[in-house]
Structure 1
Amino acid sequence: MFDFSTLSTGIINGNPNFSVTYHLTSNDAITGTAPITTPIMVNATTIYYYRLKYVDPNNPINGCFQVGKFKFRSGNIVVNNATITSCNYDNTGIGYFDLNSANVYGPTNVVKKYYPTMADLTAGTNEITTPSAYASQAPKTVFVKITTNEGCTANAEITLQFLPALAVVPATVKACNNNNAGTGVFDLTAPDVYPTSTNVTKKYYPTLADLNAGTNEITNPAAYTSAAPKTVYVRVRNPQGCTGYNQITLQFNPVVTVNDASIEECYIESNVTTASFNLTVPSVTTQTGHTKRYYKTQADAIAGINEILNPTTYISTTAVVYVKVISIENCYAIAKINLKVLPPVQSAVLKDKIICIEDKTTLDAGPGFDAYEWSTGATTQSISNVSAGIYTVKLKTGKCWTLQQVKVIASVQPVITSIDINNDSFTINATGGKAPYKYSIDGVNWQDSNVFTGLPRGENKAYVKDAYDCNPISVQVTVPNLLNAITPNGDNKNDYIDYSALAYKKDLVFTVFDRYGNMIYKADKIRNYTWDGTSGGKKIVTGTYWYTITWTENDKDNTQTKYSGWVLVKNIQ
């Protein structure tokens, strides 16, 4: 294959007025037709033609040309014998040789064909069709035929030789048997099993049989989980495909031994379900030189996250925490620490008491405690002659003290809220204190009913006490003496109702109603404390009317009092 254009530069020699073309026939050269414009196959027997043309630069229509002919002459190419190497793959006696890598001829625009014998090369038989991966024994010689684009050929020899096997050294890898799990995580990549070079690849196998078969490769050699002691195997391969192997022995580091422990602490008063624990106190291992770290959960301890940063003052409820004991080899075991909050133990018999303000009582915390400390200074089980107030006692159970408060409460006396008076009887209404109430009008004789009848007109006294039977409370009761009939005819006899005897009462109000409940009259102290049977300045019709008189007693409780009565009004028209 030849490119004729490569001849043009030497012929024209840079003169822009000349041009040259190449042709296969003399006639084509004379007429300038069918020029050769692309590379073609040439030989040493064919005649080729050229046409050299000149153009006058001053008068381009003038020009001339010249034709000529030439042949190619066969030339020799220089080749080299070469030696290439390959690995004796796993000592099988076979290597895979890249015949193309043999440096038998420098230029690259050639065709190379490879043959197992010189006879095959000469005959063109049994060509090696996979020269880049030729499987062969060694030492051995194969042959190559090089053909250039111009058709020139030459033969060379390629010697095949084996490279030596890689010198892989045995190694030992240690890992932790953490928490005595029986397995460790081994970094098989850590030992330098091939110190000769780092430009190699390594593959790891659980058995030698797996290594030879290329099966069950360990795909996570940097974190290989395994029992120990045990032996695994490593195969090392360099870029040339040479291999070697050896064993890696797996061993455990010294095992960390631990034991569980417990802590009991007294409750914190502000939050009785918690206590402050010193996690560093209990002994969880007999080994020395270890580091301890504390965690709320076993999962956190294993992962090494959420560490308890205040182990000497750890606040917790009754719970379990975990201590990770770490050796100098960074191996660990996890122990459990049971935390127990000793709760407050209060007296079940010591209760608040309610007494009369004038009484005394005894407070008894009951038996079963190791010590007593009362707020009065007493250290006995009970204290006597106690008046109303708030008391505390510290009760000791084991190593813990419980502060218990007890109240001696003065009973709240009832209050007479109102008194309803109806003619010569009245009803006492009381609240507060503790029901049921007792009622009396002399402070000596008591009854359950709050109604008293047949009372004399004028001032009376009512007494009330509650279920605590303390000193009673009392209130003054006024039973008015008023007329039941008036005849407002101006004869100055029974012309009006006069309730001026109640004028000293606070908030006094006199109200009259007809038989339908309609209010027809209402007056307070500004109307002379009398009523003459009129409504709105007019006489009312003869009939029976009802009235109420309300006031506030002059006592500390401002007892509301209501007197109800009726009056017959006879108005003569």
Structure 2
Amino acid sequence: ATMGVGYFGFSGSTGAASVRSSIKNVKIYTDKVSILQNSITQSFCPNPTTGNGSVNLTSFNPQFVSTPANYTFTYYVLGSSTPIANPASYQFSANTTISVVIKDNAGVLCDNPDGTIQLNLAPFNATDATLLECNNNNTNSAVYNLTTANVTSTTGVTKKYYKTMNDLTAGTNEITNPSAYPSGAGVVFVKVTTTQGCTDTAQITLGFLPQVILNDATIESCFIENNTTSAAFDLTSANVTTQTGITKKFYTSLANALSGTNEIANPTAYVSTSTTVYVRVTNTTGCYTIAKINLIVLPPVQSAVLKDKAICIDGRTDLDAGPGFDGYLWSTGATTQAIQGVPVGIYWVQLKTGNCITIQTVRVNAAPQPVISTIDITNNTITVNVNGGTPPYQYSLDGVSWQDSNVFTGLPRGEVKVFVKDHYNCEPIQLQITVPNLINAITPNGDNVNDYIDYSALAYKKNLVFAVYDRYGNKLYEADKIRNYKWDGTASGKKIITGTYWYTISWNENDRNNTQTKYSGWVLVKNRE
């Protein structure tokens, strides 16, 4: 605005005379105070007791001019010519428009009456809200961030949280950890205070997000052939839920499942003994539940009736795996429960139980033959001693007539054939033995009649030994090949006294077992005194 100094005159007439006067040094205003904005609007919450709004009107001055101290502000209720007496604490009971007149303290500019302040009564209301969190693993509790509850859109507010409305009203027992508040489903209460001091309360309902519904499950898997106490399990096949849009992770312990650590890396081919593992199933909201998976190794199921057999070397037999299996496959190609007429050999059968296959091996062995270990000959009696094979044994001298006793009596001198068979009744073993000529007396008097015992006829036998003993068991003489298996009634080159003496003849038969044969008898020696 600009201002100048000028001169002007005026005349007045009374009808008869006229006067002309002049005035100089008159100030002329050409502009008014410039303001930043004409209108300001602000809402206020009413005092809960009086219902009035309260405001310091002078607080708006900086919004009209940049240097309020250079101006004088006068406030009027719009339409009233009476200035507001206490603008620093103005009370109003309804929406009110305040007219503001701004005066330049320097007196240079004209007053500006264009400013207005629109005061609106707007009660502050907080709204109830709901918070949902995960009820992880069905613990019926969660951790809530109460500060995220949308109870107001007003900014700059202060919130305090309480477990009960009574605590809120009394201002006691405030929740001190509202950003990480552990709780089950329920409600808490919040007191909201605005920067203007308006307050309201709201209820926050604490609930749970949709949870994963799980069932414990069991998986059975067939044993591993080379480790029958273990099996390979596909953990992902465990039917723990029918819900979709989920993620599964598997763990060896509940602690690992809860912490989400040490996840099983190969759940589709997890090798394990019978045990329990755990699956953590997470849905699209990030909530999880843990279920137990029981792992059962299906062991091999063998036939209880299929046993190794022994048969004669040239015999045949039947093999029967017994009933109760879902399928059979023999090494012969047969798919029946039993196979017939198989010779000595090693066989196997695949036994199917459910989806599992057990391979069972069975041996058809050649029955071991008995062996004639020794032959004892006393006079005309022989005793056949047998080992090996499978008792009971049977004995025969002709392979036709059999007896249980291993003793044969009244045998003629010379060659005798002995037959033996065991429990399996296979082709009998046989042994040809010699029953020596019995000599019971000698008279070594030099007349060339019964002067000596002579068993040189047995010299073809292996390891032939002829020994003589006195009645006390002392060996007196042994006739070997050098002595031509003869004895002339002497001991150490001297004639023995007349009496009865015992003698034995032992040898090995010329069979593949070198059967030991022993003949024993007595002889009367008559020497001249």
Q: Superposition pairs for residues 8-407 of structure 1, below 5 Å?
A: 175-186=133-144, 206-207=163-164, 209-210=166-167, 224-231=181-188, 250-305=206-261, 307-407=263-363
CA shift in 2, pair 1:223/1:524, >3 Å: farther
Q: Note the C-alpha offset of 1:436.
A: 0.8
Q: Which residue of 2 aligns with 1:478?
A: 434
Determine which of 494, 499, 518 is the counterpart of 1:538.
Answer: 494
- CA 1:494–1:216: 2 relative to 1, 3 Å: farther
> Does the aligned pair in 2 maintain the 1:482–1:499 contact within 8 Å?
no
Deviation at 1:418, TM superposition (A): 0.6
Contact 2:414 2:437 in 1 (8 A): yes
| Displacement of 1:185 | 3.6
With over 3 angstroms needed to count, the CA separation of the structure-2 counterparts of 1:513 and 1:178, relative to structure 1, is: same
Counting aligned pairs with the same residue, the percent is 65
- Is the alpha carbon distance of 1:544 and 1:185 closer, same or farther for their aligned partners in structure 2, counting shifts above 3 Å? farther
Q: CA deviation at 1:299?
A: 4.7
Partner Cα distance (1:467, 1:289) in 2: 72
Q: 2:475 aligned to 505, 514, 519, which one?
A: 519
Per-residue deviation, 1:383: 2.3
Instruction: Tell me the SS of whatever aligns to 1:280.
Output: helix
User: Contact (CA 8 Å) 1:509, 1:551: kept in 2 or not?
Assistant: yes
**Letter paired with 1:460:** V
Distance 2:378 2:351 in 1: 59
Q: Distance in 2 between matches of 1:230 and 1:535?
A: 126
Distance, in Å, in 1 between the alignment partners of 2:500 and 2:308 is 57
Q: Which residue, out of 368, 375, 380, partners 1:419?
A: 375
Deviation per CA, 1:156-210: give whole Å up to 9, x if none. xxxxxxxxxxxx99997654201223222446699999x989xx9x997533545
Could you tell me whether the CA contact under 8 Å between 1:234 and 1:248 is conserved in 2?
no
Q: Deviations over 1:378-418 (max 9, x none)?
A: 22333222111111122333323222222222211111111
Contact 1:171 1:191 in 2 (8 A): yes
The 1:520/1:255 distance shift into structure 2, 3 A limit, reads same
> Normalising by structure 2, what TM-score?
0.66
**In the superposition, relative to structure 1, how do residues 247 and 481 fare at CA in structure 2: closer, same or farther (>3 Å)?**
same
Paired amino acid for 2:141: T
Structure 1 residues 184 and 568: CA distance shift in structure 2, 3 A? same
Distance 2:326 2:334 in 1: 14
Deviation digits for residues 45-82 of structure 1 (CA, Å, limit 9, x no counterpart): xxxxxxxxxxxxxxxxxxxxxxxxxxxxxxxxxxxxxx
Q: 1:295 is aligned with what amino acid? A: Y
CA shift, 1:224, in A, is 4.7
Q: What amino acid maps onto 1:294 in structure 2? A: F
Change in Cα spacing, 1:189 to 1:433, as seen in structure 2 (3 Å) is farther
Q: Which consecutive residues of structure 2, in runs of 5 or more, have no partner in the other structure? A: 1-125, 194-199
Query: What one-letter code is carried by the residue in structure 2 that aligns with 1:231?
Result: V
| Counterparts of 2:473 and 2:129, CA distance in 1 | 117
Distance 1:218 1:439 in 2: 105
CA distances 1:268-301 after superposition (whole Å, capped 9, x unpaired): 2223343211011234334444321223444543
Q: Residue 418 of structure 2 aligns to a residue in which SS?
A: strand
- Deviates further, 401-410 or 472-481: 401-410
How much does 1:223 deviate? 6.2
Aligned to 2:289, the other structure's residue is in SS state strand
Equivalent residues of 1:232, 1:250 under 8 A apart = no
Q: Which residue in 2 is equivalent to 1:446?
A: 402
Distance 1:409 1:316 in 2: 38
- Take 1:543 and 1:203, find their aligned partners in 2: how far apart are those partners? 134
Q: Distance in 1 between matches of 2:453 and 2:171?
A: 130
Counterpart position of 1:433: 389
| 8 Å Cα contact 2:330-2:347 kept in structure 1 | yes
Distance in 2 between residues matched to 1:507 and 1:218, nearest whole Å = 111
SS of 1:526 mapped into structure 2: coil
What is the CA-CA distance between 1:233 and the residue it aligns to? 6.1
Alpha-carbon shift at residue 434 of structure 1 (Å): 1.4
1:203-255 deviation digits (Å, cap 9, x = unpaired): 9753354577787676887865421243266999xxxxxxx999876443332
The 5 A counterparts of 1:455-494 are 455-494=411-450
Measured against aligned partners, the alpha-carbon deviations of 1:480-521 in whole angstroms (never above 9, x if no partner) come to 114211222333222221111111111112222211112222
2:505 equivalent to 1:549:
yes
Unaligned runs of 5+ in 1: 1-167, 237-243
CA distance 1:560–1:191, shift in 2 (3 Å): farther
SS in 2 for 1:179: helix
Q: What's the CA shift for 1:354? A: 2.2
Whether the 8 Å contact between 1:207 and 1:233 is mirrored in structure 2 is no
RMSD: 3.6
Give the number of equivalent residue pairs.
396
SS of residue in 2 equivalent to 1:525: coil
| Distance in 2 separating the partners of 1:325 and 1:362 | 55
